[in-house]
Structure 1
Amino acid sequence: MAKSELFIFKTNSLSNDQYLLKLNRTDSCLEVYSKVSNSKLNEYYSIRPDFDSSEYTMFEKADSMPCLFGGEKSPTPYGVFQVEKVSDSEYVSGYRPGYDAVKFFGYIVIFEDYFIHSDMYEESVEDYRNASSISTNDTFTSGCIRISQKSLDKLLSLIPVGTTVIL
């Protein structure tokens, strides 16, 4: 099995995070990293035996979810953010061209009006399992990160408020 990616941070506010999210714009996926023991460092890099890694926090890639993100006219921002809100409730948005309002089921707020969410449905939809998405053929978003409902449900069970997100 090939080694996955490792992120190393100087210990600070990230030291309490169990997860890290990263938008991989090249591969169009949202990557999930989980905190790992500092002993992982030696699996990736040649480090001198007396190196003290206690001042560092390690995250190793645990999952990768295909996603869409903002296009040229409405890009997804670049930066390092913390998750502001996590909700499994439905959300009604007015950002869909051609619709007064649309709905998605569950979301993670990463910066102001920039969310991680699933496909969008007409506002009248009560249950996405019995409805057709209106966003299936999209090639970009209005700036949010869009993943499958299954992937979103997984994130909603893992990611707490305060988790670091690299966009």
Structure 2
Amino acid sequence: MSSALSIGDLARMTGVNVRTIRYYETVGLLPEPSRTTGNQRVYGEAQRRRLAFIRHARDMGFSMEAIRDLLRLAEAGPDAPCADADAIARQQLAAVTSRIARLRSLQPELERMLEAHCQTIGHCRVIEVLADSSHAQCLDPTHGRGQEDESHIDSL
């Protein structure tokens, strides 16, 4: 592998969108790269590895803040204690476990909404159930009770 990578090469190698790479630079997850005399970004192996780390952590659902903390811990050196990294991973596991439980409770709700076949929106069970802000038609009484779905957060 060449030691000098363009942003396009880096994007292809890591599967991270060019705009996302620039965003990670802006928020400080990736250091600003060196530039050519033509002002083109130039990346090396260290940036590729760091971006691959970030991508993997994002794929596992870690927040940007957690990734920032994990990167800081990784930079502390190989002999630094691992307890803080473990704590961050435990928090992520708890969040994933909670989300899985919420998704499992949603499955029968969605199946039940789809059981009633209708021809028009005026008699559409899906619209009717979703429009009921009291959630009285839900099988799971916790729906709509302050449990936010985090899937839209940090969608980069």
TM-score w.r.t. the length of structure 2 is 0.23
Give the TM-score, by structure 1 length: 0.22
Tell me which of the two structures has the higher relative contact order, counting C-alpha pairs closer than 8 angstroms and 6 or more residues apart: 1
Structure richer in helix, relative to its length = 2
| Richer in strand (by share) | 1
